[in-house]
Amino acid sequence: MEKRERLETYLESNDLDSVWFARPNSFAWLTGGNNVVDRETDAGVAAVGYDGTTLRIVTDTIEADRITAEELPDLDADEVSIEQFPWHDSSLEAAIAARVGSDERAAADVDVPGVERVDPTPLRQPLTKRDRERYRRLGQETAAAVESVCRELRAEDTEHEVASALRVALSARDVEAPVVLVGGAERAQQYRHYTPTEAELGDYALVSVTTQRAGLHASCTRTVAFDPPSWLEERHATAARVEATALAATQAAVGDDGAGATAGDVFAAIQDAYDALGYAGEWEKHHQGGAAGFAGREWIATPDHEAPVTAPMAYAWNPTVEGAKSEDTHLVTADEVESLTDTDNWPTTTASAVGFELELERPAVLTLEG
């Protein structure tokens, strides 16, 4: 109901008759289902439209029965119409265009002849109660999978081997992994995006994932050490404090006194934290994260970024400090910062925000025998 109210407001304020979503994350946002068969295409195999009264699912004759039976968990049969077109006779975009009358105005999140474009990101914020419940389950299962793999690592494991183990552990929990990064000691210091190679882990490793289920995305990073460098604990603690600062600034932005605060305001707090902790300019070497939800990042904060900070909303901030990283997905409200990717089964360290009265328990470096 809440999502339909947002769509009704969007239609009214933009003088539109209908709005259509064919990209996987927005299809999942509105239906709870998955319209993906081929991951190399921008659009899925089905679109969902709303005209102010009815949800309309448009798909071809190959997919209609499966989509109806398996991919519409949040929709009752009397709430939606299923409209098929012959697989050999049309494209999904053409099928959408055919359902927009010549005297109607419509918008879509893919290119459709004669139809305007809609940016679905603002519509997906903030998260609904149902989305938040799903997010908690996804976050806990993501962290459980990552941590179970991390506890079994050995210094001689290769990055590729670890990445494969992560994908298996996540898949066993019905969780997809659009992003799997594994950086051994050498490459984690060289690169901020440590895509897996045949290199062995060595003295320590950073393991980062972004997962997806039912359109929602969760990100987390864990650090495992065998023979940790002398500087690792300090840099890890610094990254954790910058992350805590980002979360504190996010919460302040959505509080009673934060009306009108933007992503740029949170980013300024991140810059100040790096400066105060002795790593001025470190933010220039990697993006710092931002709002999460029905994309790995609904937006990524930058200096002077004007995106509004909303709540209740998920945020995944991911500061890095010269070979160290701190990252989890949190649900932020005006009253609480809740870690979604938390199992209570990993060592923690207390991280104090810089310039804010917030302390958070953050994952510590796990030291294992090599």
Average pLDDT over residues 269-297: 98
Give residue 119's pLDDT. 96
Distance CA 309, CA 263 (A): 6
248 and 344 co-located in one domain: yes
* Closest among 194, 202, 303, 212 to 25, alpha carbons compared: 212
Give residue 79's pLDDT. 82
Distance CA 234, CA 350 (A): 13
Burial bucket for residue 62 (CB in 10 Å: 0-12, 13-18, 19+):
middle
Helix, strand, coil shares of the chain as percentages rounded to 5?
Answer: 35, 25, 40
* Closest among 353, 94, 356, 139 to 243, alpha carbons compared: 353
- CA of residue 19 relative to chain centroid, distance: 24
Q: In the predicted model, is pLDDT for residue 126 greater than 70?
A: yes
Q: What CATH number does the domain containing 106 carry?
A: 3.40.350.10
> Which are the contacts of 120, defined by CB distance < 8 A and separation ≥ 6?
21, 23, 25, 26, 29, 109, 294
299 and 361 co-located in one domain: yes
pLDDT band at residue 76 using 50, 70 and 90 as cut-offs: confident
Total number of domains constituting the chain: 2
Domain termination site, one of 104, 124, 144: 124
> Which are the contacts of 176, defined by CB distance < 8 A and separation ≥ 6?
170, 211, 212, 213
Residue with tokens 């946002």: 29
Give residue 77's pLDDT. 73
137 and 40 co-located in one domain: no
65 and 192 co-located in one domain: no
pLDDT band at residue 308 using 50, 70 and 90 as cut-offs: very high
Give residue 370's pLDDT. 63
199 and 340 co-located in one domain: yes
37 and 9 co-located in one domain: yes
pTM beyond 0.85: yes
Alpha carbon distances (Å) from 365 to 119, 179, 222, 348: 39, 21, 7, 8
Distance CA 34, CA 234 (A): 42
Cis peptide upstream of residue 122 (ω within 30 degrees of 0): no
Cis peptide upstream of residue 319 (ω within 30 degrees of 0): no
Give residue 73's pLDDT. 87
Amino acid present at 287: H
Distance CA 79, CA 129 (A): 20
Q: What CATH number does the domain containing 246 carry?
A: 3.90.230.10
Give residue 329's pLDDT. 99
Average pLDDT over residues 127-137: 97
Domain extent, residue 119, equals 2-124
- Hey, what's the torsion of the CAs at 283, 286, 291, 293, to 10 degrees? -160
Average pLDDT value for the chain = 96
Average pLDDT over residues 211-220: 97
181 and 263 co-located in one domain: yes
Residue 361: strand pairing partners: 350
271 and 166 co-located in one domain: yes
pLDDT band at residue 256 using 50, 70 and 90 as cut-offs: low
Q: In the predicted model, is pLDDT for residue 105 greater than 70?
A: yes
